[in-house]
Amino acid sequence: MLTSLYIQNIVLIDRLSLTIGDGLTALTGETGAGKSILLDALALATGGRAERALLRHGASQAVVSASFEPPQNHPAWKVLVENGLADDDDQQEIILRRVMGEDGRARAFINDHPVSVALLRQIGESLIEVHGQHQGIGFLDSAAHRGLLDAYGGLENLGAELARKYHIMVAAGKALHESREAKERAIREADYLRHVVDELAQLAPQDDEEAALAETRAHLMAAEKISKDIEQIVNLVQGDNTVTALTRAAAGLERASAQLAQEKAAPLKRLAAQIDNVLSEWHEAGAMANSVAQDFLANPQELNRVEERLFALRAAARKFNVPCAALNTLFEKAKSDLALVEEDAASMMALEKKLFEAERDYDLAAQKLFQARQKAAAQLDKAVAKELTPLKLDKAKFVTEVKAIEGQRKASGCDEVQFLISTNPGAPLGPLKQIASGGELSRFVLAMKAALMSKEERTVIIFDEVDAGVSGAVADAVGERLAKLAKAAQVLVVTHSPQVAARGSVHWRISKSGSKKMVTKVEKLDESERIEEIARMLAGAKITPAAREAAKALLGLSLKKAEGARG
């Protein structure tokens, strides 16, 4: 239920804080006093359009905050949890707030968390419903009729099961369609695929083969040049003349040093030792040169083989317009696609069977739901008919049309649901919004709300002048139905009818005052103030004693009926 409403700087409202109770709350006041301002403010808080005209003249900012306490099983809680706005199991309150600046831009908040206007509107629409003389949200939109009928008949589980079977059927159809497309494409490309498979089978490309071949080729090409330089070094190091000359020189120095005194022979011995070291290093260099030469030995045959393979891979890549690294992938895919052409029909038949079974299961579930909707429609028609007579619409006819649509398969079913009415005997049935006048529409909406009241999840229902165009016994019947509806949901009614106002368990009077600066104020009336307000509604500007007595009678009648209903 809506527990409180705070309004600041909205049109003629300076600052207003209202505590709202359950049952039926009547809002009355002179025309132009500002009753619609309250509804505009509440609409703004629940995601309605923000308009600069709502901002009070001279104010820089407008604020509207509405607090609700829906039951724990209300769908709004699930949406809040999914959006990270409610995680406390003990949380009971949902606060919707809108702040609008001078530029007309409005920020949205839920439980003091900034949110998108779309999310605020989604939560707001799940909590509150507004009906006016020329609007009946849900009832005028045929797209919503199926949901209302399913809720009335308790068909949500059947609907959910049908939706599940629908998605299975769609998935099976998609799988078969994709398989058929793949096979048809493969058949069209069969000759090309065979060419690809034959050529790449001979080539037998490997993953990352190009990079390895390119690296080997670079090494072999470098070795061809380096081997010539190393060959010259080997020839030089291993040359017989140089080694022989050094060896003879070392031997001559040894003989000469043997013939001299020790102190004279020392330099010759050192020179001979140095020559021996040079010869040792020379022989090591020769061995190393031979080893290196083996590593860089030119191999023209290997280079030719590597180049032929590399060039063949690159030619195939250019031919099939893919990178060399993707040749093996292309080969495998071509083999797979070609297999589709050549495989037997078993797999296709399995997919066709799966789709056939899914369509059969869907059709059975859709037929079951269709029949259940027809049964619920007959019950709803009877329930609405009972409500029409007291509202002086006993000559009108209400029919819930459930029409099967040939060939239609949707998640919601194979049928269409529409509320149709006829206001006069013999007149053809037609859509509610096209047939009913303003006053009739309000009463039709009220009759349907009364019939559906135990099946809906709205926390608050607001009727804006639902009694327009009616008076006397009809107005009293409207008031009685509103009071009945208020047993299942919190109901607020903006009314000019004393019969309706007298039915309220709470009565607010909306008035406008001020000499220099007009403001709208809202007062909760006590018993004596209610008598005066209802007398004013009966008599006009000049309240007579007779009007006060009539007001007391209306209130007394209302109290007696309310006590009888409670008993």
- Lowest mean pLDDT across 252-256, 325-329, 348-352, 507-511: 252-256
- Lowest mean pLDDT across 192-196, 198-202, 284-288, 453-457: 453-457
pLDDT at 159: 93
Which residue in this structure is represented by tokens 């028609």?
Answer: 381
SS3 513: strand
Please indicate whether residue 245 or residue 154 has the higher confidence score (pLDDT): 154
- Lowest mean pLDDT across 16-25, 111-120, 440-449, 506-515: 440-449
Instruction: Check whether 245 has a pLDDT greater than 80.
Output: no
Instruction: Check whether 565 has a pLDDT greater than 80.
Output: no
The CATH number of the domain covering residues in 1-131+459-469+487-523:
3.40.50.300
User: Helix axis angle, 346-388 relative to 145-153, nearest 10°?
Assistant: 80
Q: How confident is the model over 384-415, as pLDDT tens digits?
A: 998 888 888 888 899 999 999 998 999 999 99
**The pair of three-digit structure tokens given for residue 171, joined into one six-digit string:** 């998935």
* Beta carbons of 11 and 520 less than 8 angstroms apart: yes
Instruction: Check whether 567 has a pLDDT greater than 50.
Output: no
pLDDT at 399: 93
Q: Rounded CA gap, 281 and 22, in Å?
A: 110
Mean pLDDT, range 321-333, rounded to an integer: 87
Q: How far is CA 530 from CA 512, 533, 563, in A?
A: 18, 5, 18
CA angle (265, 270, 272) in 5-degree steps:
95
Q: Which of 80, 77, 314, 113 is nearest to 213 (CA)?
A: 314
Q: Rounded CA gap, 150 and 417, in Å?
A: 10
Give φ, ψ of 199 to 5 degrees.
-70, -45
Return mean pLDDT, the chain: 83
Task: State pTM to two decimals.
Answer: 0.62
Q: Rounded CA gap, 45 and 127, in Å?
A: 12
Q: Which of 129, 147, 76, 125 is nearest to 455 (CA)?
A: 147
Most confident of 30-34, 182-186, 407-411: 407-411
